Structure 1
Amino acid sequence: MIGQFILRIVIWFLLTANLSITNIIIGVSISLLMPYYRSEAIQFKDVIYGIKKIIVAVPQAYIEAIEMICQPHKHEEVIMEKAKNRRSAALVFLDIFLITFTPKTVVLRHQEDDWYVVHHVVRRIQRRRNS
């Protein structure tokens, strides 16, 4: 329960970028009023995997932002990305957050069969070969 509260309040501060007393009160209120879920057992290897993805995502987000400033990306594509099977709700959230964290991508939908529908912004449309 405490972990969920900390996660919610951190996300609130990241989204609002405001540490005023009023915003802190609103964030704490929302975090406490939201329903808590019972978390499934998360394996240690999944936590390490998540930390590695976070370490990679931060510099990738800066690189993509600079690319988009220097070379405008005018084309879009929607693709399906496969998620690992049988993931807990927390790890699905982490996947979606990390995909959406980078400036060129956003998750449109998570399907029950462990697929993410992802919107990409690209410099040019890449043609795929049928193999």
Structure 2
Amino acid sequence: MGAISVLNIVLRLAVWFLLTADFSLPNIIIGIAIAFLLPGNRKSSSTLKDWLRILWEIILAIPQAYLEAIEIIFRPHNDEDFIRKRVKPERSLGLVFLDIFLITFTPKTIVTKYDEEGWYEIHRVKRKVSNK
């Protein structure tokens, strides 16, 4: 079992515990069983470098999320739009999940659609630019 497989199992367990919020022994056993029984993604290969990069981006997003929340409180964002962002090539499903988590983690953006052709549709709020 490689490092990437271990990261995929850890991600599955983390999602399981976030969904159930139960750390009892039976729930831990069920979570481990589900993490191992879910089919893997064989079509794309991710590297440890990709995983470390996205985890670092998530760490950096934490202070950004706080700053955006404070900015929205004191300077309301009255405008919104949708943008499309290209998914990085050959992303595993675990990395796509983490990409979506990263985009949605900050208060100004949320992924509304993941296109199987390789695009994220992102809704974002922004300050209205005044034309004086």
User: TM-score w.r.t. structure 1 length?
Assistant: 0.72
Q: Report deviation, 1:7.
A: 3.0
Match of 2:40 in 1: 38
Among 68, 77, 82, the residue aligned to 1:78? 82
Is 1:121 the counterpart of 2:96 in the alignment?
no
Q: Report deviation, 1:2.
A: 7.0
Q: Report deviation, 1:54.
A: 1.1
Name stretches of at least 5 consecutive residues in structure 1 with no aligned partner. Answer: 127-131
Q: Report deviation, 1:63.
A: 0.8
Match of 1:47 in 2: 51
SS of the residue 1:76 aligns to: strand
The number of residue pairs the alignment matches comes to: 122
Instruction: Name the CA shift for 1:55/1:33 in 2 (closer, same or farther; >3 Å).
Output: closer
User: TM-score w.r.t. structure 2 length?
Assistant: 0.72
SS of the residue 1:120 aligns to: strand
CA deviations over 1:7-52 (Å, ceiling 9, x no partner):
3453465578x6xxxx445965884568612144431221122122
Q: Report deviation, 1:104.
A: 0.7
Instruction: Name the CA shift for 1:6/1:118 in 2 (closer, same or farther; >3 Å).
Output: same
Determine what percentage of the aligned residue pairs are the same residue: 42
The Cα RMSD (Å) is: 3.0
SS of the residue 2:62 aligns to: helix
Among 103, 106, 109, the residue aligned to 2:107? 103
CA deviations over 1:105-127 (Å, ceiling 9, x no partner):
1001011221100000111159x
Name stretches of at least 5 consecutive residues in structure 2 with no aligned partner. Answer: none
Match of 1:129 in 2: none
Q: Report deviation, 1:5.
A: 5.8
Could you tell me how far apart the structure 2 residues matched to 1:67 and 1:15 are? 30
